[in-house]
Amino acid sequence: MAAERIISTPGSPQTEPDAQADVQPAQADDAAGATAADGARAALRRRRVGVLFSVALFAYVIDLISKLVVVAKLEGRSPIRIISDVVTLQVIRNPGAAFGMGQTMTVVFTLIAAAVIVVIWRISRRLYSLPWAIALGLLLGGALGNLTDRLFRAPGVFRGHVVDFISVQHFAVFNLADSAIVCGGILVVLLSFRGSNPDGSVHKPSSAKTD
């Protein structure tokens, strides 16, 4: 007796396993693509965080070395002229913030510097922008530089006076950590003005509609 031939129609139980077999490879390809994209994005974030900490380390080390040198060589001595009387080198112990502001609020500025470091650390968890990595690195290195003075210099922990030594006529006396903070802050303002975000996205201010 001849074998009975079964002809199935689309959607019948006999064809559903075949349809599922076609869908599963497509889903696997989508999942593999998503995993590859996530891996590439994670690698990009690690590179940007690496840039942030490299810039911060450079700014911190340069500031630390400069302070050690000027304290050993210049403290208690006459100012050294760099550009006539416009720019000179002289060591000043500053209990306040950058450029000598708030000299009676040493502990407050210590806590602010520590808070800035925590904020930068949190932002670094979603950092994908190279310019933002550089800007935050400058801010972090400068904050760490002055925080080190607050913690380890006289008159005591959290009350240490920051070493300033670059004197500009009719302006202020500051250090390289202050310079890093100012440069990083200016870069942050410029990036924000252009609509750039730390995560690499760009936002544009919504324009008002006119009738």
DSSP of 82-106: EETTTEEEEEEEESSSGGG--TT-H
- Does 178 participate in catalysis according to the annotation? yes
Decide: 143 and 113 in contact? Cβ < 8 Å: yes
pLDDT at residue number 100: 53
Q: pLDDT, tens digit, for every residue of 1-50?
A: 455 454 555 555 555 555 555 556 656 666 666 787 888 889 999 999 99
pLDDT at residue number 20: 56
Task: Report helix, strand or coil for 44.
Answer: helix
The H-or-E segment that residue 126 falls in is none
Decide: 75 and 92 in contact? Cβ < 8 Å: no
pLDDT at residue number 27: 65
pLDDT at residue number 208: 45
Decide: 134 and 57 in contact? Cβ < 8 Å: no
Residues 23, 27, 28, 33, CA torsion sign: positive
The answer, yes or no, to whether residue 165 has pLDDT greater than 50, is yes
- For the chain, give every domain's residue range: 59-193
What DSSP designation does 153 have? S
Question: Strands of 87-94's sheet, edge to edge?
Answer: 80-83, 87-94, 162-168, 172-174
| Identified catalytic residue from 22, 63, 178, 199 | 178
The answer, yes or no, to whether residue 144 has pLDDT greater than 50, is yes
The answer, yes or no, to whether residue 163 has pLDDT greater than 60, is yes
The answer, yes or no, to whether residue 148 has pLDDT greater than 60, is yes
Provide the β-strand partners of residue 172: 168
What DSSP designation does 125 have? G
Residue 66 makes CB contacts below 8 A (sequence gap 6+) with: 165, 175, 176
What DSSP designation does 3 have? P
Q: CB atoms < 10 A from the CB of 133, how many?
A: 25
| Identified catalytic residue from 38, 149, 164, 199 | 164
User: What CA–CA distance (Å, rounded) separates 90 from 62?
Assistant: 18
pLDDT at residue number 203: 81
Q: 211 pLDDT band (50/70/90 cuts)?
A: very low
Q: 210 pLDDT band (50/70/90 cuts)?
A: very low
Between 34 and 125, the more confident residue is 125
pLDDT at residue number 54: 98
Give the tokens for residue 59: 């700014």
Mean pLDDT over residues 136-162, rounded? 93
Percent residues over pLDDT 90 in the chain: 59
pLDDT at residue number 9: 53
User: What CA–CA distance (Å, rounded) separates 141 from 149?
Assistant: 13
- Does 199 participate in catalysis according to the annotation? no
